[in-house]
Amino acid sequence: MKFELQYNDSQSNARAGLITTDHGQIETPIFMPVGTQGAVKAVHMPELEKDIQAQIILGNTYHLYLRPGLDILRQAGGLHKFNSWNKPILTDSGGFQVFSLAHNRKLTEEGAIFRSHVDGSKHIFTPENVMDIERTIGADIMMAFDECTPGDAEYSYAKKSLDLTERWLDRCITRFNETECEYGYKQALFPIVQGCVYPDLRKRAAENIASKEAEGNAIGGLAVGEPTEKMYEMIEVVNEILPKDKPRYLMGVGTPANILEAIERGVDMFDCIMPTRNGRNGQLFTRRGILNMRNKKWANDFNPIDAEGTSFVDTLYSKAYLRHLFIVNEILALQIASIHNLAFYLWLVKEARKHIIAGDYSNWKRSIIDDVTRRL
């Protein structure tokens, strides 16, 4: 994987770059739709590529390991061939999912012992077998196995957790270097900065990861319960240290405002389930504000869903029609809203890139951030 830093904003730490993988190029800053179980919910691959204009999507190691399982993925030739997505894919390591199974998992030096949420069967994730699993899935970018601490963790727990994550990282790197992709193309490994909300732990973690000289680096353990301002503070601490010539990925974040603020602080890559999850619940993000499509006020509004939107759904359907679909629980409502929201998120980062190149990112961000957070 190669990363070319192309532009730096004259007013802030915002950057624009180009990631090159064996499955294509990615212009940064970029938002990555989440395809947890091999599919971005309610969206076809041609819609993702041609209408939404996604450049890279995510797969989830924990879920894909359980279903369909590694044998099926290997027989298919990897996730790209299994789900018919021919552009880059990133897989997380399953660390966050194991963290979410608080009552069904146990952490040891060896790894994380957990019970499947599907059938209760017992499994273990170690740094070594997670690298092997991600090799079999075949993503272009693999994440190291870590422990994700909650945002309100005590300092002593956060330090102990970071100690374990750093030991696991060394084992991940060793295993990654001992193995190769099963399908003949190159894969990259990103370490993950942890440390909860404690600046000294985040600084230590970032310095350790910078020393590994990986092809890219991730910031994890944010947007998990800590105050928003604390999240921004941790991003600033970390990005002062992480190499400027490598892409920086903020995991699981977030709202349009979160993304705009993090770009200003030097983040290049984002993912979040919010566009599709909130969309399925009737919430639409637009450059003019946020709409709740279940509200009565849209019942006889025959204007387009979003006259300024970039997706075909935005001008093909009216607000009144989309509200009707939600009220009658029509599946098409979930599809329309998911496509719209993803297209908006991709528009947002593409527009951010334009203003970074123009050198006026911070001014543009200030002009739009109140609009994208307003409730309509």
Q: For the stretch 117-127, what's the b/e string if a residue is b when 16 or more beta carbons lie within 10 angstroms of its beta carbon?
A: eeeeeebebbb
The mean pLDDT value for 348-369 works out to: 98
Per residue in 210-258, pLDDT (tens digit) is: 999 999 999 999 988 899 999 999 999 999 999 999 999 999 999 999 9
Residue type at position 358? A
How many CB atoms neighbour CB 271 within 10 A?
23
Which residues are part of a known binding site? 92-96, 146, 194, 221
> 89 — phi, psi (to 5°)?
-130, 145
Does 310 reside within a domain?
no
Which residue's structure tokens are 């830093």? 5
Percent of the chain having pLDDT more than 70?
100
Strands (E), 116-254: 122-125, 141-143, 188-190, 192-193, 217-219, 248-250
Asked if the model's pLDDT at residue 100 lies above 90, the reply is no
Catalytic residues: 92, 271
pLDDT at 195: 97
Domains of the chain: total: 1
Q: Give the chain's end-to-end CA distance (angstroms, integer).
A: 42
pLDDT at 97: 83
- pLDDT higher at 280 or 151: 280
Per residue in 254-305, pLDDT (tens digit) is: 999 999 999 999 999 999 999 999 999 999 999 999 999 999 999 999 999 9
Three-class SS state of 110: coil
Does 366 reside within a domain?
no
Kindly tell me the burial class for residue 366, based on how many C-beta atoms sit within 10 Å of its own C-beta (0-12, 13-18, 19 or more): exposed
| Distance separating alpha carbons of residues 135 and 16, to the nearest angstrom | 29
Which residues are part of a known binding site for substrate? 92-96, 146, 194, 221
Banded pLDDT at 105 (limits 50, 70, 90):
confident
Banded pLDDT at 1 (limits 50, 70, 90):
very high
| Distance separating alpha carbons of residues 79 and 84, to the nearest angstrom | 8
| CATH number of residue 179's parent domain | 3.20.20.105
| Distance separating alpha carbons of residues 147 and 150, to the nearest angstrom | 10
| Distance separating alpha carbons of residues 243 and 209, to the nearest angstrom | 9
Does 354 reside within a domain?
no
184: DSSP letter: S
Sheet bearing 122-125, strands edge to edge: 105-107, 112-115, 122-125
- Kindly tell me the sign of the dihedral angle through the C-alpha atoms of 262, 266, 270, 275: positive
pLDDT at 250: 98
Q: Where in the sequence is the domain holding 178, given as residue range(s)? A: 2-271
Banded pLDDT at 181 (limits 50, 70, 90):
very high
How many CB atoms neighbour CB 370 within 10 A?
10
Asked if the model's pLDDT at residue 57 lies above 80, the reply is yes
> 10 — phi, psi (to 5°)?
-75, -15
Does 169 reside within a domain?
yes
Per residue in 312-331, pLDDT (tens digit) is: 999 999 999 999 999 999 99
pLDDT at 98: 78
Does 210 reside within a domain?
yes
Does 349 reside within a domain?
no
The mean pLDDT value for 354-360 works out to: 97
CA distances from 204 to 78, 81, 136, 159, 224 (A): 36, 39, 32, 10, 20
| Distance separating alpha carbons of residues 154 and 275, to the nearest angstrom | 31
- pLDDT higher at 97 or 41: 41
What is the pairing mode between strands 15-21 and 2-8?
A: antiparallel
Per residue in 188-203, pLDDT (tens digit) is: 999 999 999 999 999 9
Query: ∠46-216-343 over CA atoms, to 5°?
Result: 30
Does 107 reside within a domain?
yes
pLDDT at 101: 77
pLDDT at 194: 97
Does 313 reside within a domain?
no
* Structure tokens given for 128: 């070594």
Asked if the model's pLDDT at residue 133 lies above 90, the reply is yes
The mean pLDDT value for 136-165 works out to: 96
